[in-house]
Structure 1
Amino acid sequence: MPERMRVLTVVNALALAGAEKFGCELAMSLSSQFEVQLVALRDVNLSQAEQLRARLTDAGIRCYELHKKPGPSPKTLLQLRRLVRRFRPHVLHTHSTSSDFYGGLLARANPKIKWVSTLHNKLVWPRFERLGRPIDRTLFRRADAVVGISKQTIDWAKQTYALPQEAFHVVLSAVDVNKFQHANSDKETTRRQYDVPADAIWAVMVGNRSPFKGVDVAIEAIKSLEQSERSTLWVTSIGGEHIDPAYSETLRKTLKQQPLLPVQLRPPSGDIPSVLQAADLFIMPSRMEGLPVALLEAQAAGLACVATSVGAIGEVIEDGVNGLLVPPDSPAALCAALSRLVNDTKLRKQLASNATEAAEQRFTHERMAKQYTKLFEALM
C-alpha cells in the first residue's frame, strides 16, 4: 500500500478569521486525502481556539499550539524542528507572515521537504519594511510553490519573488457554502440576541475592528442617511478589538455622542452562519483587503453585499450583479449604496440571489481542496 502523503500546516493562531481560519479549514478539507497535522504559533482567542481544536480533532488532525510570544523566537524554531523530525512531512504548508518566516527557515534546513506558501494579501511585515522585505525575498527563494488566494495577490508575488513562473498558482479562497446556506438558525431568536428591531433591515459587518476595516467610514455613511432610512436600518459590527483597542474606543466614543445612531459593536461570534442567515445586508467598508473570507461567507449566505473596491474584492463582486462596489474612504458613496439597498427591495433580493449562485460556482471547499491536492501531488 503506498505511503500517504504527510502535510504539516502552520498558521499564526487558532482563530475564526482571515488566514488562520482559512488554513485550519483547508487542513480539514485535505485530511481525507492526506495525513495532516497542524501547528498554531501563538494564542489569540481562547474560546475560538477551543472551537477550532475540537473541529480539527474530529477531522483526525493532531494540533500543536506553541504559545509563541511577540517577536522573533528561537524557541519556536526549535519546537518546529522537533515536530518536523517526528512527523517527517512531505509538504510544509504555511499561511501569512509569521508562519512563512519560520516555515522558510525550516525548509532551508530540510531540502527534501516541499514548501508551499499561501499568500493572503500583499503586505509583508509592514512595520518592518526595510528589514522585512529583504528577509522575506531571501526566504522565498527556497519556496517550491507560492499560491495566491486571488489573481491580484499572485500578480504581486510574481513581481516580488525570484522564482520560476511555474512556481506561482492561483487558488481562490473558499467557504463551506452548504453551512452558510443551511445554518440551523432560528432567525427571530438570533435577531433578538442582537437587539434588532422587529421590522428593521439588519446589516452586518464581520471582521476584527481596526482602521483597515473602515468601520468609522460606515458610521459616517449611516449618519448621512435620511432619517427615514436610518429608522429602517440596524447595523451590527461583529469582531475582536485586540488588533487596535484604541481604534475601537474611538468608535465607542463616536457612537456614545450619537445615541440615536442604529449601530452597535459586538464581540466575535462563534455562530456567524446563523447571524448571516438572519441578516439582510452585508457591509464591508475596508480600506485594505486581500480576498476576505467574510465577504465570501456573506455571498454564500445569500446576502446583498456592499463593499469597497480594494484588494481582490473586485474579483468577487461584479458591481450591480452580485453586489455593489464603492470607493474606499468615501462615506458619501457608501451612504448612496446603502440608500439604494434600503429603498429597493427588488434590487436587494436580486443581488442576494446572484451572490448565492456565484458562491456555489466559484468558492466551495470541494473546488479548493481538489486544486491543492493536485498541486501537492505534482510536487512529489
Structure 2
Amino acid sequence: MGPVAFVLKGYPRLSETFIAQEILGLMRRGLDIRIVSLRHPTDAHTHPVHDEIARLSKASVLYLPEYLHQEPMRVVRGWWRARRMPGYRQAISAFWADLKRDLTRNRIRRFGQALVLAAELPAGTVRLHFHFLHTPASVTRYAAKMQDLPWSGSAHAKDIWTSPEWEIREKLTECDWLVTCTAHGAEHLKTLAADPGKVHLQYHGLDLTRFPPAPDRQAATGRGGGGPVTILSVGRAVPKKGYDDLIDALAALPKDLDWRLIHIGGGKKLKALKARAAEKGLSSRVDWRGAQPQEKVLAALRKADLFVLASKIAGDGDRDGLPNVLMEAQSQSVPVVATAVSAIPELIRDGKTGLLVPPGDPAALSAALARALADPELRRRLGAAGAERVRKEFDAAVELTDLARRFGLPGDVEAA
C-alpha cells in the first residue's frame, strides 16, 4: 500500500495530542503516513509522541507555504505542474465556485497551497486525508481533484460548527468517508450529508500506555487546616474554554475553603485572565504555568485533587468537542467538574463519574466546586468511577481498530 498524505493545519501542536496519538497508532499498524502541514509550528515544546512519530516517519513533514507571498516561485512551480494534471480543470472549477461564495484571501490561499501539495505529493500516494473540516479539508479537496485521488477526513469541533453549511454539504458529497469524534457532531453532520452513511462516530479515546494507573493520594480536606485542595485546569486561554467563568466561580467560593488553582496552557486571552484573577484577589491562589509538554501535564494530573474545565459556546459558534484532557484527568482518578456542553456529557455522567453544570453559569460552577472541595469522599468516589469508565470504554487502541480498517489495514495487528 502506498503513502497516505495527512493534511493538518499545523504540526506539531501541543493542543492536538489526539491527532498525534492517532497518527502514531496508525503508523504502528503499518500505514505509511506522510504529514503535510499548512503552518509551521509555533509551540516551544513538543510531546514525546511527536518524537516517536519522527522516528517512524519515512519522510520529513511537508510544510506548504503558510502565506503565498512568502514563497511565490514555489506556488508558480506548483501551478505549472498541476495545470497538466488529470483533474486540474475540475479543481479550478470548484475553486471558482467556492470563491464566488467566499470572496476572501484565505480562500485564494487554500487553492495556492493545494497547487503546491498536488505538485509535491510523494510518488505513489494513494489517498489524502484531512484533519479538520475547514481549511485543511479545502486544501485536500482541491489537491485530490487535481491528482484524481480518493480523499477522506476527520472532523472535530470548531470546524463543524463554524464552517458554512453549503461547504460542509459539498465536501461530504465528494469525500469517500468522514469520521468525527463525538456523537453530538456526528448527528449534526449526518443532517447535512446527502448520504448520512458516509459519516462515522470515532472517539479518539486515550492511549492508556501513556497514562499509567493513578498513584495513591493523601486526600486534602479543603478546610480545617488539612491543606489546600489542588485544582488543575488544562486548556488554551480562548473564549470557548470559559476561563472567565472559572475565575468568577473561584472568586465566589466560600472563604473558609482552602484551595489553589494550577492552569496549564497558552492562548491569546491569558494576559486578560491573569488581570481578571488579580482584580478578584486571586493572584496568590493561581499558578499560571503556560503551555507544557505532555509529560509535565501528566505529572500535574498525578498530583491534582480536582480537575475543572468550564467550556462553553463562544460568540462565533466555536466550541469544544470532547476534550481529551478530561479523559486524561479521569485516567488518573482525578474527579472532574465540567460543563454540560457539546459532547462532554458523552464522557461524564453527572453525579456518577463527575459533576456537570450548565455552560456559562459561574454561580452553578462555583457551587459544584464548593461541593467537591469540601467533600474528600465525593472526590474519591467520582475519581475512581471516572477512571474505571475511561479504561473500559475509551481505550484508543480499541477505538483505532475501525479507523485502521477504513485505511485498508487489519486494524488489530500492530507492526513490529
**Global fold match (TM > 0.5):** yes
8 Å contact 2:231–2:262 — kept in the other structure?
yes
- What is the percentage of aligned positions where both structures have the same residue? 25
Distance 1:122 1:253, change over 3 A: closer
Q: Partner of 1:193 in structure 2?
A: none
- State the shift of 1:173 in Å: 1.5
CA displacement, residues 137-161 of structure 1 (integer Å, 9 cap, x when unaligned) = 3233211111110111110111123
Identify the range of structure 1 (150-159 vs 367-376) with the bigger mean alpha-carbon deviation.
367-376
> Is 2:164 the partner of 1:91?
no
- Aligned position for 1:275: 300
Q: Give the conservation status (yes or no) of the 8 Å contact 2:242–2:360.
A: yes
1:145 — aligned with what?
177
**Pair 1:373–1:108, CA change in 2 (3 A):** same
Whose radius of gyration is greater, 1 or 2?
2
* Between 148-157 and 21-30, the greater mean CA deviation after superposition: 21-30
1:79 to 84, 91, 116: 116
SS in 2 for 1:236: strand
| Structure-2 change in CA distance of 1:124 and 1:356 (3 Å) | closer
Alignment partners' CA distance in 1, 2:179 and 2:116? 26
Alpha-carbon distance between aligned partners in 2 of 1:36 and 1:79, rounded to the nearest angstrom: 18
Contact 2:172-2:198 at 8 Å conserved across structures = no
Does residue 355 of the first structure (1) align with residue 386 of the second (2)?
yes
The equivalent residue for 2:144 is: 107
Within a 5 Å distance, the mapping from 1:361-380 to structure 2 comes to 361-377=392-408
Once the two structures are overlaid, the 10-residue window that deviates more, 325-334 or 49-58, is: 49-58
Aligned partner of 2:254 in structure 1 is 226
Contact 1:56 1:62 (C-alpha < 8 Å) held by counterparts: no
Deviation string 1:165-200 (CA, Å, 9 cap, x unpaired) is 3212111122222322259x9x99xxxxxxxx9932
Structure 1 residues 329, 173: closer, same or farther in 2, change over 3 A? Answer: same
What code does the residue aligned with 2:361 have? S
Distance 1:116 1:372 in 2: 11
Q: Deviations over 1:71-113 (max 9, x none)?
A: 32444223311343x2433332211122111112122334442
Within-5 A mapping of 1:205-284: 205-229=233-257, 232-241=258-267, 245=268, 247-261=269-283, 262-270=285-293, 271-284=296-309
Which residue does the alignment assign to 2:33? 36
Q: For residues 49 and 273 of structure 1, do their structure 2 counterparts lie closer, same or farther at Cα, with a shift above 3 Å needed?
A: closer
User: Which 4+ residue blocks in structure 1 deviate beyond 6 angstroms?
Assistant: none
CA shift in 2, pair 1:123/1:16, >3 Å: closer
Give the Å deviation of 1:303: 0.9
Instruction: Look up the match of 1:23.
Output: 19
Do the aligned partners of 1:6 and 1:89 also contact (CA within 8 Å) in 2? yes
Paired residue secondary structure (2:261): strand
Q: Is the 8 A contact 1:290 1:312 kept in 2?
A: yes
Q: Which has the higher strand share?
A: 1
Choose the corresponding residue for 2:329, options 291, 298, 315.
Answer: 298
Aligned equivalents of 1:364 and 1:83: distance in 2? 36
| Paired residues of 1:11 and 1:39 also in contact (CA < 8 A) | yes
2:198 is aligned to 167
Decide whether aligned partners of structure 1 residues 205 and 291 sit closer, same or farther in structure 2, where only a CA change above 3 A counts. Answer: same
What is the aligned-residue RMSD (CA, Å)?
2.7
Alignment gaps of 5+ in structure 2? 68-105, 219-224, 313-318, 411-416
Residues 13 and 54 (structure 1), Cα distance of their counterparts in 2 relative to 1, 3 Å cut: same
Tell me how far 1:355 sits from its aligned partner.
1.2
8 Å CA contact 1:14, 1:48 repeated in 2: no
- Aligned CA distance change for structure 1 residues 224 and 280 (closer, same or farther; 3 Å): same
SS in 1 for 2:308: strand
Question: Of 1, 6, 9, which residue of structure 1 is paired with 2:3?
Answer: 6
How far apart, CA to CA, are the structure 2 residues paired with 1:268 and 1:111? 40
2-structure distance, mates of 1:344, 1:360: 25
User: TM-score when scaled to structure 2?
Assistant: 0.78
Q: Shift in Å at residue 300 of structure 1?
A: 1.5
- Pairwise CA distance, 1:273: 1.2
1:158 to 190, 206, 214: 190
Q: The residue matched to 1:92 in structure 2 has which SS?
A: strand
Q: Secondary structure at the match of 1:141?
A: helix
SS of the residue 2:153 aligns to: strand
Unaligned runs of 5+ in 1: 189-196
CA distance in 2, matches of 1:68, 1:212: 29
1:199 is paired with a residue whose SS is: coil
2:366 to 335, 341, 344: 335
| Paired positions, count | 353
Shift of 1:5: 5.2
The aligned counterpart of 2:413 is none
| SS of equivalent residue, structure 2 residue 392 | helix
* C-alpha distance in 2 between matches for 1:266 and 1:248: 11
Measure, in 2, the Cα distance between the counterparts of 1:51 and 1:32: 15
Deviates more, 1:35-44 or 1:333-342: 35-44
Query: Secondary structure, in 3 states, of the residue corresponding to 1:325?
Result: strand
